[in-house]
Chains A and B, each alone.
Chain A
Amino acid sequence: EVQVVESGGGLVQPGGSLRLSCAASGFSISDHYMDWVRQAPGKGLEWVGRTRNKAHNYITEYAASVRGKFTISRDDSQNSVYLQMNSLKTEDTAVYYCARWRSGAADCWGQGTLVTVSS
C-alpha cells in the first residue's frame, strides 16, 4: 500500500524549533517530488514547500511565508522527507501534511501532524 506517515508534531514555544518527519512506504521517494502543505485550525490549505527528486537536482522550493525559517530535506535511502522548522511563531500553528507529487498533482497524503506554537 502506498502511504506516507508524518510524525514529530507537538507543542513548542514561540521562537522554538521542531523537526517533522515523513516516512514513505509502498513506493520510492527517489522517483518523486515531495511536498509539505499546512492547514491552520479552521482555515484552508497552504503549500509550504517541496523537495524535487535526484533527476531534478534535489532542488527545494518554499512559500515566501516560510523561506529562511523552514528547511526541507530528504533521505532517499531512508525513504523519508523532513521539515526543519525554526523561529516558530503562533501563526505557524497548523496541521502539517506530507504529500507525494506525481505528474499533475499530489496523489498521496498523510494524515498530518499537529504543530502548536504557544507559550
Chain B
Amino acid sequence: DIVMTQSPDSLAVSLGERATINCKSSQSVLSSSNNQNYLAWYQQKPRQPPKLLVYWASTRESGVPDRFSGSGSGTDFTLTISSLQAEDVAVYYCQQYYTAPLTFGGGTKVEIK
C-alpha cells in the first residue's frame, strides 16, 4: 500500500498569513502514461463531510477560492493557503488515487494564531 505522510500534524497561522501543508507518498503517484499526479486534497470542517479542494495535485475544484493552491510531483506535494481566513479553520487531508487501496494522509489541523 502507498503510505501518505502529512506534516505538520497541526499549525497555527495568523489571519492573512500563509499556511503550508506537506504530503509525502511512499512511492511515486506520477503516471508515466498521462504525466498526471494522482493526488487530491480535501478540507474537513467540524461535523461536516470532507470537501474536495484540489485534484491532479494542482487543479483547483470549481468554486474553491484561489487562495488555495496545490503543487508538487512524484512523491512530494504541498497545499498552500496564501492568505488564511477564519473560515479556513479545518483539517486538511491528502489522498492518493494512483492505485488501490486509495490512501489518505493522517490530516493536518489548521488553526488561527
Contacts and interface: CB of A to CB of B under 8 A. Distances in A.
Contact of B61 (A35, A46, A64, A107): A107
Interface string B69-113: 000000000000000000000010101010011111111000000
B56 A104 contact: yes
B40 A105 contact: yes
Q: Is the interface of A mostly helix, strand, loop or mixed?
A: strand
A49 to B, nearest CB: 8
Interface of B: 1, 40, 42, 44, 48-52, 55-56, 59, 61, 91, 93, 95, 97, 100-107
Interface of A: 35, 37, 44-47, 49-50, 61-64, 97, 104-107, 109-112
Nearest 8 interchain pairs by C-beta: A104-B55, A105-B55, A109-B49, A105-B40, A47-B102, A61-B100, A45-B104, A44-B107
Given A44-B105, A47-B95, A107-B52, 19 more contacts: A44-B104, A44-B107, A45-B50, A45-B93, A45-B95, A47-B101, A47-B104, A49-B101, A50-B102, A61-B100, A64-B101, A97-B50, A104-B40, A104-B59, A105-B55, A105-B61, A106-B40, A107-B61, A109-B51
